[in-house]
Each structure stands twice: as C-alpha cells, then as structure tokens.
Amino acid sequence: AEAVVAGGGSVAIFDLASSDGEAVAAEMGGGTTFHACDVTDFEGTEQTLASAAESLGGLDAVVNTAGGGVARRTLSKDGPHPLDEFRQVIDLNLVSSFNINRVAAGIMAENEPNDDGEPGVMINTASIAAFVGQIGQVAYTAAKAGIAGMCLTMARDLGSLGIRVNAIAPSLFATGITKGIPDEFADALTKDAAFPKRLGKPEEYGRLAVAIIENPMLNGGCIRLDAGQRFAPR
C-alpha cells in the first residue's frame, strides 16, 4: 500500500476492525481509506469491495494478502485433523482470495483499458509452503497450493478482458507474528535460504507487487520471493 501511494496511486485498505488499519491509512494519507472487513464474510466482503471501488473512482489493482494457518498433522495422537479447522484455513486463504478476484474482475471489466489494453490486474499471495510444506502444514499447504494453481487458469479465463492474474509465493517475512521474533530464532528459521539468510522485508513484497502491476508481460505466474529457501520437513 505504501509503495502504491508513493507512486501516486490511491489505496483502499481492507483489514479486521481490530487491526491497525485505520491508523495506518490515516498516517499514509494520499487519499488512503480503511474499510473494516472480515474476508471470510464473503457476502460482506463483496459489498465492501463495491463500496471501496466507488469511493476510489474505480479499481485498477487488487492485492490479496490475508492468510493464516493451524499447526496440525493429518493424523496425530489426538486423532484425525479436524475437518472444520481444515475448512477454516481454506476459507481464509483460498476462498476469500477467489471471492475478491471474482468480484474485482466484474468491476475491472467496466474500466477503460490503459494503453496496453489492460483494465486491471490481480495479485494473490501463495507461499513457498505451496511447494515445500512442512509437517503439520497440510491445511495451509493445500490452501496456498490452490492459490498458485488457479493463477494460470484464472489468467486464461480473464485474458479476453485484458485482466491479468499473478501470485507471489513468499518465504518467511517480518510481518504479523514473525515481526518481533528474536534474531536467533529468525536465523534458525531462515538457515535453509541461499541468500540473504534473513526474514523478508514488507517493502520487498511491495516492490514486487508494484513491478507486477506495472509490467504487462507478467501474467498467469506464481513468483517465488524466498531468497532461494526450501523448507525442511520440520
């Protein structure tokens, strides 16, 4: 969001009402607005997205970053993986992203295309767990693999409209619960990276997102942003 605003764009931030989204939006300025939203409330999200697009005067790009998981094996000493937990992770990571994509596509289709014939672009967030999931990440891996897998198909679905679809697959980034972890713990988590051996920085994700928005040849792909890291089994 900061990178888009710095480039002269207007941004609508969606996050939970309990988040810092309102304060962040006010601090960023540049016409940035905050919209309290639970992305697993699919109908409510559709309404919020339509309202935000109207207040922005249109919708040119969407970046989905909501996500989370549970630490649970397919079968543990407590029994099989609870099905409701699996569904919750799929809803939060995969279904919510698809819901925003499908609604955003309808809004973008009404745009006047730019000089490249493009009315909009969508970016979803996968994870390197989609390709090298660790023990206990089965629900998260399934959800993120779904994000990566639907990329090309959705790009093909929307190609006739000029709407591009891409995904970013980050490794561990200094956001959310990992933001304030001790250095020694961060070092242990990133020891399998090629270079640099550290947590990713939010602005590095932002730079890639902006690059995708600006480059019309980036379409239908899931781009790894992981410093060459491959998770070990645990």
Question: Sign of dihedral through CA atoms 169, 122, 63, 104?
Answer: negative
Percent of the chain with pLDDT over 70: 100
Q: Is position 140 annotated as part of the catalytic site? A: yes
| Active-site residue identified among 140, 173, 205, 231 | 140
Structure confidence at residue 177 (pLDDT): 80
**pTM (predicted TM-score):** 0.96
pLDDT for 132-163, tens place per residue? 999 999 999 999 999 999 999 999 999 999 99
